[in-house]
Amino acid sequence: MAHPTTVLVTGGAGFIGSHTAVELLENGHDVVVVDDFSNSTPAALERVQKLTGRRVTLVEGDVRDRALLGEVFAGHRIHQVVHFAAKKAVGESMQIPLEYWDLNVGATVALLQVMRDAGVTDLVFSSSCSIYGDAQRLPLDEDAPAAPTNPYARSKWVCEQVLADACARHPELRVLALRYFNPIGAHPSGLLGEDPLGVPNNVMPYLTQVAVGRLERLPVYGTDYPTPDGSCVRDYVHVVDVADGHRVALGHLADTPGLRVRNLGTGVGTSVLELVNAFEQASGRRVPVAPTDRRSGDVPALVADPSLVAREWGWRTRRDVAAMCADAWRFQQLNPFGHAS
Binding site for ligand UD1 (CB under 6 A): 88, 90, 128-130, 150, 153, 180, 182, 201-203, 206, 218-221, 232, 234, 272, 295, 298-299, 302
Alpha carbons 297 and 222: distance in angstroms, whole number: 12
Alpha carbons 312 and 302: distance in angstroms, whole number: 23
Whether residue 152 lies in the annotated active site: yes
- CB of 227 or CB of 335, closer to ligand UD1: 227
Of 100, 132, 152, 225, catalytic: 152
Alpha carbons 243 and 15: distance in angstroms, whole number: 10
CB of 117 to ligand UD1, least distance (A): 30
- CB of 59 or CB of 159, closer to ligand UD1: 159
CB of 237 to ligand UD1, least distance (A): 10
Looking at residue 194, the DSSP 8-state letter turns out to be -
CB of 215 to ligand UD1, least distance (A): 9
Residues 6+ apart with CB under 8 A from 98: none
- CB of 78 or CB of 328, closer to ligand UD1: 328
CB of 62 to ligand UD1, least distance (A): 20
Where are the alpha helices (H) located in the chain, listed in sequence order?
15-26, 42-52, 66-75, 90-95, 97-100, 106-118, 151-169, 203-211, 239-252, 272-283, 307-313, 321-334
CB 289 within 8 A of CB 276: yes
- CB of 12 or CB of 133, closer to ligand UD1: 133
Q: Point out the residues that are catalytic.
A: 152
